């Protein structure tokens, strides 16, 4: 995992519904299933950005890599915010309609392997004051994350 910034939170700037912490994520697998990878950015309401890339051992599907990348991003943000997380708002943005729709409750999780990842992500999301979900086209993910 590589990071482009040491700290994200700013004690003077709190999130709001109009200015939440933002996670932009994307994951995939070379071969599907195959070698998993992902990347994400964490944006603060103060305009600070952290960028990370991840590679996963073993074989996984594109959807598993999408979930795992978001889980990694949520864990990273929670680690940075500490106790503040329970009073902060986070918005997840990505091109995975499946992950975003399942986490928002709009779609059911039917795949057994995704059920475990979904539950793990939901546990992380419960630690924030509020969560928002925003789908964007693939082109936006490529422009921001490079894949």
Note the pLDDT tens digit of each residue in 93-147: 999 999 999 999 999 999 999 999 999 999 999 999 999 999 999 999 999 999 9
Residue 120 has a pLDDT of 98
Give the fold, CATH level 3, of 21-145: Nucleotidyltransferase; domain 5 (3.30.420)
For residue 11, is pLDDT > 60? no
Distance of alpha carbon 36 from alpha carbon 65, whole angstroms:
6
**What pLDDT digit, counting tens, does each position of 27-37 carry?**
999 999 999 99
Residue 13 has a pLDDT of 78
* CA within 13 Å, CB half, 31: 8
Mean confidence (pLDDT) of the chain: 93
Residue 7 has a pLDDT of 63
CA dihedral for 138, 144, 145, 146, sign (positive or negative) = positive
The domain segmentation of the chain, as residue ranges, is 21-145
- The three-class DSSP label of residue 100 is helix
Q: Is 39 exposed, middle or buried (0-12, 13-18, 19+ CB in 10 A)?
A: buried
The pTM assigned to this predicted structure is: 0.93
């Amino acid at each position: 995992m590589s990071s482009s910034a040491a700290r994200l939170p700013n004690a003077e700037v709190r999130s709001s519904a109009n200015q939440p912490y933002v996670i932009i994520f994307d994951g995939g697998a070379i071969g599907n299933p195959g070698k998993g990878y992902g990347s994400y950015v964490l944006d603060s309401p103060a305009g600070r950005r952290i960028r990370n890339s991840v590679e996963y051992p073993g074989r996984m599907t594109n959807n598993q890599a999408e979930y795992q990348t978001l889980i990694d991003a949520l864990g990273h943000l929670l680690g940075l915010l500490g106790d503040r997380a329970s009073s902060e708002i986070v918005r997840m943005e990505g091109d995975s309609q499946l992950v975003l729709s399942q986490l928002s409750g709009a779609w059911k999780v039917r795949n057994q392997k995704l059920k475990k990842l979904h539950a793990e992500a939901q546990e992380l999301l419960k630690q924030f004051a509020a969560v928002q979900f925003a789908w964007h086209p693939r082109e936006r993910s490529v422009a921001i994350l490079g894949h």
